[in-house]
Structures are given as C-alpha cells and as structure tokens.
Structure 1
Amino acid sequence: MTALRIGTRGSALALTQTGSVADDLATETGVATELVTITTAGDRSTEPLSQAGGTGLFTSALRDALVAGECDVIVHSLKDLPTAPHPDLTIAAIPVREDARDALCARDGLTLLKLPTGARVGTGSPRRAAQLRRQRQDLQIVDIRGNVDTRLGRVADGDLDGVLLAAAGLRRLRRTDAITELLDLDHWPTAPGQGALAVEVRRGDEHLVESLDHAESRAAAEAERHVLAILEAGCSAPLGAHAVVDAGLLLLSASVYSLDGTIALTASHAAVWPDDAAPLDVAASAARELLDAGAADLTGSAR
C-alpha cells in the first residue's frame, strides 16, 4: 500500500475532521495518507434533514465506497452513523472526543434567555427544536439546512436571530468566535455520539487505525448510541444523551422529548468501568426506564 486512502465527504467540516485523522495516523504510524472525496445523498438533498432520508443520509455512500475498495478507511461524525452493525465494516477507532455541547450563535452576543420574544432561531434537528420549545415556547423555530458558514451567514444577514450548532464543529473550523452561549450538557443533552468521530474500516483491517482509539471516548459514545438503538429511534429522533467516565464509573443520562417540547422524560444510570459490558448495561437500564415511562410514544418506536 503506497498510501492509506481515507474517504470523506467534501464539506469544509468533513475535510477538516478527516484531515485531523490523517495527521494523527501519520504521527502514530508514519503511514502516508490521501483523502478521497465522496458525495453523499445528504450533500445532494435540499429537503429538511428530518425528511430527507434519516439514518444513513450522510454515511451510506462512504460505506459503499469502502466496501467497493475505493478507499481503505472512512471518517464519519459518529452522530450521523446508524447504530445497527454493518456486515462488512467495523468502527475500528473513536478518537478523543471533542466538546459534545450544543452552541448558540446569536446576534449581538445574546444568550438563549436573553433572546427577544418571538426571536427566530434556526436548526435542522428535531431534538434541538424540542429543547428550544421546552425552554422558550415564544421562539419561532426555523428549519434550516446548509454548512456552518451558510447557517452563521443567516444570522449575520439578519434573517435569523440565532442558530444552534455543535460546538465540536465550530471548534474544528476555528469559528468559536461565533458562539454566544455553550449549553450545559446536564440540562441540554445532545445527540448520541455528538462531538466524536468514527473511523471505519473493512472487517479484518482494524490494525490500520486502532492506535487512534480512545477507550473513555468509545465507552461514553457507545453508551449513548446503545440507548438510541434500544429505543429503536432514528438519528433525527428527539432524544439527547450524555455519558462520561469519571472515578471508575460510566455515568449516563438520557432524555426523550415530545416534538412540541411540553414533555421530557429523563433517566440516569451508572456502571463500573472499565468493563466491556458497561456501555450496554448502563444504556439498557436507562432505556428500560424511559420505555416504562412512555418514551416509545415520543420517539416513534414500535415498542
């Protein structure tokens, strides 16, 4: 192999994320790398994210290219990746996780509580929309698409009073100057896996990237994603989760919301870590509590 071919979407954020993985691989292993840009269905679609195809929207084309041998490694934002195992591929590494919080980027340095009555706030996420409505029923929630610069541009142009974005993406793109408030994970849990990257390879090729795997980041992200899988909720479901490893425990809190924000169900559990079973055990406990409280009616699960 002359160079390790790493597949990526062509957006500025995806290229930045994949470039960081390529740099880390070169540092860890000395291997030469090259980026292979792949267009996904999510890149071509102009529909609202909640209606544009759901799970796999930004990942299927990358996976197809990897299976076909067009690249050797692919890099995803973990929150975009379906929870069901792929028959031919595996997540061989989850590098150190970036900031998992949501960030408000608003005009005039405003915070969520200081936005004026009736302010227009943009997001393409049903979960973020539900959380916004729960905090501020007076806000106008505007469904938006586009890359980070496009979304921030709508605030700069005065079309929107603010947008909600992932802090991780803003940090990776060096756009933290746009952040007017970081929303606390204890009260504002984010999408399962938000802030984490998934480095995927064909089964049997784990050795290519396994040096990048970070045990604590993997445990936390897997616990969050197990909740999503057990609840049979898609990536666009109004569900937030936050897990962390602390003092020998894997701590998980998960919340499910009604789309109008009037209902929120929360479950928090812990498991001893390190233990390979901890992510699934803690997620199963949280999901069971949420299902018993009626979460299936909010996520669209068949249970």
Structure 2
Amino acid sequence: MTDTLRLATRGSDLALRQAGTVRDALSSRRRDVELRRVETRGDQIPDELIHRLGKTGAFVRSLDEEVLAGDADLAVHSLKDVPTEEMDDMVVAGVPERAPSGDVFVHPDGLGIEDLPSGSVVGTGSLRRTAQIKATRPDLVVEPLRGNVDTRIEKLLAPGLQAEHERRLIASGEASAMTAEEGGAGDEGDAESGETDADAESGEPEVDEEFETTVEEWFDSLSDLERSAMERKVETEYDAIVLAEAGLRRSDLFHDVPTTRLPREEFVPAAGQGAIAVTATDPEVIEDVRSAVDHPRTRVAVTVERTILGELNGGCVAPIGVSALVQGEHVHTRVRVLSTDGTEEVADTRDLPIRSHAKAAESFAADLADRGADDLIAAAREAAEVDEGTRQEAADE
C-alpha cells in the first residue's frame, strides 16, 4: 500500500462526486487520496439497457479488478450496482450514510404519474421501474432510456424547449427571415401574401404569438442544463421519466427540474439504491475506510436488502424492489417482486429484529420464494435469455 490511497472510480460526473465524498472523508483522517478514472463495460456500451449488459456488475468489475491488480487501493461504487456475490478477497469496507433511496417522477410541468393522460410516454432504463409503472398505470407507454443523469433529463426537456424556441423565432419574424435566406417558402405557401396552405384552408391568416421577452433574452434565462438540451437530437420524445432521487441530488440537479416522489409502497426501490460502497482488499485500508466512512444504520439496512436480493437470486434480470429502514430495534422491510409486464406480483412487509437482521432477511426471502417469487424471477430470467438470443441472431444476420 502506498502513502497516497488510489481510489478507482468511473469518470461520470455522478461517480466523481460520489468518489469525492469518500476522498473528503478519508482526507479528514489525514490520508491523501488520488482519484483514478476507469472505464467500465457499462460505460463502453452507453446505449444498452442495464439488464442486457450480461452478468451483473457491468459498472463494478473493472474498478475492483484495478484493486485486485494492485493498480488501486480501493474503489467506489453505487451499491445497487454491486453484485451480491462478492469477488474473491474483495470486501465492502465502507458504506457511508445513505442518500434518499426512493424514485422520483420527473415531468417538465411537475405532473405526477397519476396525472398523465393515457398513452403518455415514460422513459426508464430499469426493468424494475418498467414493471412498477406498468402495474400502476398499464395505460402508459414505457420506453427505454439510458445515459447519465443529466443526459436523461436533457432527453426529456429537449423536444419542448426546441418547440418553444421555434415558436419564439416565428413570433419574432426571425424564422421567416431564415427561410427567405435559405431560398424562400417554396411550395408551402404564397410568398408574396405570406399566406400558408393552412391559412388558405381555414380562411384566416395565422396569428403570431406574442412574448414579453426576445428570443435572446429567453435563451439567456435558460439554465446550462436547458441550453444543453436545446442542442440534443432526440429519437424518442418522453412525456416524463423516472430517476433515483439520490442521483439527482448528488448531481446537483434536484432543484433544476420539477419532481414528484413516487409512493414507496408501489415503487419499492432497488436493493442498495441511494447508498455508496467502498471496496478494498488490504486489511489496513479496510480498517481506515470502515472507521472513516461506515454508517452503521445504513450498513444494517443495505445488508438486509442485499441478503434478500441474493437469496432470491434475482440480480438485474428480474423486477425486484427491496427497501429496508432501521426503526429502533427492528428493520422495517418491504419487498415487491413483479412479472416483467407488471401483471403479477408477490409482495410483503415485515419488521425484522435488528439483532439477527441477516438471518431474518434470509427467512423472509425464503417465504417470498415459496409464495411464488421464485416463479416470477425464473420467468423473467427466461425472457431475458430469449431476448439475448434474439438480439444475437439479429446481430449475426
């Protein structure tokens, strides 16, 4: 081990912020820490959905391999990405205090999921969230969504902002001037009268909208995130998206977009969501990390969640939500296992004794499996294998 601890992390803004909190905690214990950016398999395939990336750990293994190879002393992960089967000699040395673990509904105008009209399009890259949305609102359309937190928000905001920009250009006359410079209106209308085909059909000229600010003033009022969205080309137009609240907060974007917290009874978070894991192998590093960053209540809660997930053997191929919260001498735990289409479920809530929380979690998982959770997970796994086979055949053609 070197005098300076080398901390392996992904290079995304969110990952670097998470690594920064760990670095600051260790620095407070007079340990120098340098960040080592590592590209993971999940980063190399940015448009692929998580459950299609193969084995669990698409964002984790590359970082831990840096530690095992001696090129880093420790690694930082989003705990929900860490497989329940740990790599040889790798230890989760520290789990800092958890951020809010639930999901939020993001809509440009602040609507909640219950307010959306039938047929609205909701974006998510999560199998769990997809099933939960379908179970709650089967009349909505769920479309895949990948990317970093800011990228996902930009994809949501882009169509509306671009349309607003176009309306303002038309109202100011700039759009007409731009069209004239490009060669006129062509067959779309009468260039001399300014009348469009639509005007001719209705018998009334188009009335320009009036705005209190110029196009330039409106653009200057936009946030950096909104300006980036203006330049983004979007293939799918989303009416709303679902994100983890923790990711929004850690990215400093929570107050940049209207959000509504989704009810935890229906939208049970992923095991470990909102928590960070620091992994290491060296006993001295493990002890330093544990004493500097580990939060006992969070450690108990995520141990319950990950134990249940591991016992159910769901990984990332099945829609499983597991949420645990330490309350006095008990760990209040809710589990919801769904079919991929959201039409079937096995769910339950229990207060597990904190003194034997791991064993109690195993028993809880066994009961859920006996009640049909195993069947739902097996069906989800089979569907994932069929999907992978179909995609491979298409790639080979």
Q: TM-score, normalised by structure 1?
A: 0.95
Aligned to 2:296: 215
| Pairing of 1:83-162 with structure 2 (within 5 A) | 83-158=84-159, 159-162=237-240
Matched, 1:265 2:343: no
Q: How many residues align?
A: 298
Residue pair 1:66, 1:201 contacting (<8 A) in 2 also: yes
Q: Distance in 2 between matches of 1:54 and 1:160?
A: 29
Q: Tell me which of the two structures has the higher relative contact order, counting C-alpha pairs closer than 8 angstroms and 6 or more residues apart.
A: 2
Aligned to 2:76: 75
Give 1 or 2: higher helix fraction.
2
Residue pair 2:49, 2:144 contacting (<8 A) in 1 also: yes
Specify which of 334, 338, 342 is matched with residue 253 of structure 1: 334
Q: Distance in 2 between matches of 1:179 and 1:89?
A: 40
After the TM superposition, which of the residue ranges 120-129 and 258-267 deviates more from structure 2?
258-267
Q: TM-score, normalised by structure 2?
A: 0.73
Q: Distance in 1 between matches of 2:370 and 2:317?
A: 22
Measured after TM superposition, the shift of residue 26 of structure 1 is 1.1
Give 1 or 2: higher strand fraction.
1
Deviations 1:208-266 (CA, angstroms, capped at 9, x unpaired): 20121111101100101111110111134200011011121112111100111111211
Letter in structure 2 aligned against 1:127: R
**Secondary structure at 1:118 match in 2:** coil
Measured after TM superposition, the shift of residue 184 of structure 1 is 2.7
Deviations 1:86-137 (CA, angstroms, capped at 9, x unpaired): 2111001111000000011112111110112111111111100000001111
Letter in structure 2 aligned against 1:174: D
Q: Distance in 2 between matches of 1:150 and 1:235?
A: 22
Measured after TM superposition, the shift of residue 203 of structure 1 is 4.7
Residue pair 1:252, 1:282 contacting (<8 A) in 2 also: no
Q: Distance in 1 between matches of 2:334 and 2:359?
A: 13
Aligned to 1:12: 13
Residue pair 1:227, 1:287 contacting (<8 A) in 2 also: yes
Q: Distance in 1 between matches of 2:77 and 2:153?
A: 22
Indicate how the Cα distance of structure 1 residues 179 and 53 shifts in structure 2: closer, same or farther if over 3 A, else same.
farther
Indicate how the Cα distance of structure 1 residues 104 and 54 shifts in structure 2: closer, same or farther if over 3 A, else same.
farther
Task: Tell me how large the CA RMSD over aligned residues is.
Answer: 1.4
Residue pair 1:93, 1:200 contacting (<8 A) in 2 also: yes
Letter in structure 2 aligned against 1:271: L
Deviations 1:160-183 (CA, angstroms, capped at 9, x unpaired): 111111100101111112242111
Residue pair 2:73, 2:282 contacting (<8 A) in 1 also: no
**Identity over aligned residues, as a percent?**
38
Identify unmatched segments of 5+ residues in structure 1: none
